[in-house]
Chains A and B, each alone.
Chain A
Amino acid sequence: MDERELIARRAAQELHDGELVNLGFGMPTQASNYLPEGVNLTFHSENGIFGVGPKPKTSESDADITNAGTEPVTLLPGAAIMDLCTSLGAMRRGTLDVTILGALEVDQLGNISNWAVNRNGLWWPGIGGAMDLTYGTKKVIACLAHADKKGNSKILKKVTLPKTGAKCVSTIITDKAVFDVGDNVLILRETAPGVTVEDIRAITEADFIVADDFHEMVL
């Protein structure tokens, strides 16, 4: 299985029946394809929807029913439309139970960076709703590749890029491991099939301890 699918499958296990969820673009959105049985969720879309449903049939797509990436979606029975202030207000005030979002870097304090890289001396691409999301949401789950293409750890002692959220991440899911964020230390809960604790030591810059109930990911 490719690493993106692995992360999506594992991330889906963090979602519980009845939760109000916002899924970030890319790998996090894929998590909705692998929901455990009996887990029914309400999805929030940043552009102003509670109750986002699956993709429509092509003939039923509607220019005015879109998600935050202007992809075609449907509205489930009981859905609500709200304006942008209300949508971001819901995020800021802590109405959302859980968010799964992509990250460029995370660190052992639970900081997450995902809104800026330096291009031509300028920050790009910009914040969008990510800061409101990480500020207010009760449980923040960060997903990322464990190391970059050169093999450098993205699980750091301290993030180097501008932060999106400070000390806000509860759980980190990579293609190799699952960590919970403790008190200035990560707690290794699981490794991907075939990956050992020593493998993780070799590719993780952050300090971590191994959980008492450490086990291999069940996918």
Chain B
Amino acid sequence: MMAKSKVMSINEALKPITSNATIMMGGFVGAGEPTCCIDWLVENEIKGITLIANEPGLSGFGKAKLYKHGLVKELIASHVGTTAESTEEYLKGNILIEQFYPMGTWAEKVRAGAMGLGGVLVPVGVGILDEEGLFPNLKEPKKVINVNGVDCFAEPALTAPFSIVKAWRADELGNLQYRYSSMNCNPIVAMAGEYTIAEVEEIVPVGTIPPECVGTAAPFVNAVVKGLSLEEHNKIYRDHWIKIGKLKPEV
């Protein structure tokens, strides 16, 4: 195939993102986060971000830098408390959260967006999340529909003009392969973005990734950027785990 390579510099890949952008990001509490792209957003002072993410990330790491620098104005997520930085900004009134979604509901809204659907019917939280006054900032009341005798929320799909994901490796066409539990929500986030940037540890020749191992297919990816290597990531996480006492220091 003689298709143009999607591999480019981080600067070229992220240039279209300006302040007040809505950005969807992959990752689960700091695992599988596009940290180099996040550094670019911080360095380029992209402010007023509406961030669509599973949860805010891990304290002192990745996404947490966005809150620390006051760059996020709204968070669409299942949680706000996994980082000290997002907690502080939220409690000061600097980050708007219209409502919290159960994690599975958030994931299905993003998947519906990824798959070109209007939305999903979700039974979780009916009778709780639509309780009067629970979420005073709701733009419209939560809609309940009864299907086959089950009351469900009709949840609209979530898409975004920009999606930034992290994968293990990519080929030049933009096929992505994920590694172990760092996959998490990266595949649905990748597909739900109109313009998707994938940050990877390794760029491999076309044909290296077995077709059945492709976690996100090339047509869903617009730009591939090289981030830190797997070795560098292993060291960063290992040092962090030793520092917080989860692992004993190596002898």
Question: Chain A residues in contact with chain B, CB under 8 A?
Answer: 45-49, 55-56, 58-59, 61-72, 75, 81, 83-85, 88-89, 91-92, 115, 119-120, 122-132, 135-136, 162-164, 166
Contacts and interface: CB of A to CB of B under 8 A. Distances in A.
Contact of B90 (A67, A81, A124, A135): A124
Contacts of A166: 127-128
A62 B180 contact: yes
B102 A132 contact: yes
Given A59-B250, A64-B182, A85-B108, A122 B90 contact: yes
Given A88-B104, A124-B91, A83 B125 contact: no
A127 B97 CA distance: 12
Contact of A46 (B103, B127, B230): B103
A-B interface, 4 closest residue pairs, ranked by CB to CB distance from nearest: A125-B81, A88-B104, A126-B79, A131-B102
Nearest to B55: A128
Contacts of B100: 115, 123, 126-127
B241 A162 contact: no
A149 B2 CA distance: 68
B184 interface: yes
Nearest to A45: B181
A10 B1 CA distance: 61
A124 B103 contact: no
B160 interface: no
- The interface centre, meaning the residue of A55, A61, A70 with most chain B CB atoms within 10 A of its CB, is A70
A63 B128 CA distance: 37
B67 interface: no
B139 interface: no
A72 B29 contact: no
Contacts of A115: 100
A60 to B, nearest CB: 10
Contacts of A47: 28-29, 31, 181, 184
Interface string B219-251: 000000000001001101110011000111110
In terms of DSSP, what is the predominant structure of the interface of chain B?
loop
A120 B91 contact: yes
A76 to B, nearest CB: 13
Nearest to A126: B79
Sorting the interface of chain B by its residue count into under 10, 10 to 19, 20 to 34 or 35 or more gives 35 or more
5 contacts: A64-B31, A67-B181, A129-B78, A162-B134, A166-B127
B80 interface: yes
B124 A135 contact: yes
B234 A61 contact: yes
Contacts of B32: 64
A186 B101 CA distance: 30
Nearest to A119: B91
A122 B246 CA distance: 32
- The interface centre, meaning the residue of B78, B107, B181, B187 with most chain A CB atoms within 10 A of its CB, is B181
A70 B249 CA distance: 18
A63 B182 contact: yes
Given A48-B184, A68-B29, A89-B104, 6 more contacts: A56-B247, A61-B247, A62-B234, A64-B179, A131-B124, A136-B124
Interface in B138-159: none
- The interface centre, meaning the residue of B93, B101, B111, B246 with most chain A CB atoms within 10 A of its CB, is B246
- The interface centre, meaning the residue of A58, A91, A130 with most chain B CB atoms within 10 A of its CB, is A58
B119 interface: no
A25 to B, nearest CB: 11
- The interface centre, meaning the residue of B168, B236, B250 with most chain A CB atoms within 10 A of its CB, is B250
A189 B158 CA distance: 47
B103 A72 contact: no
B72 interface: no
Contacts of B90: 122, 124
Contact of A70 (B31, B54, B168): B31
Nearest to A73: B181
Interface string B114-135: 0000000001110110010010
A91 B124 CA distance: 11
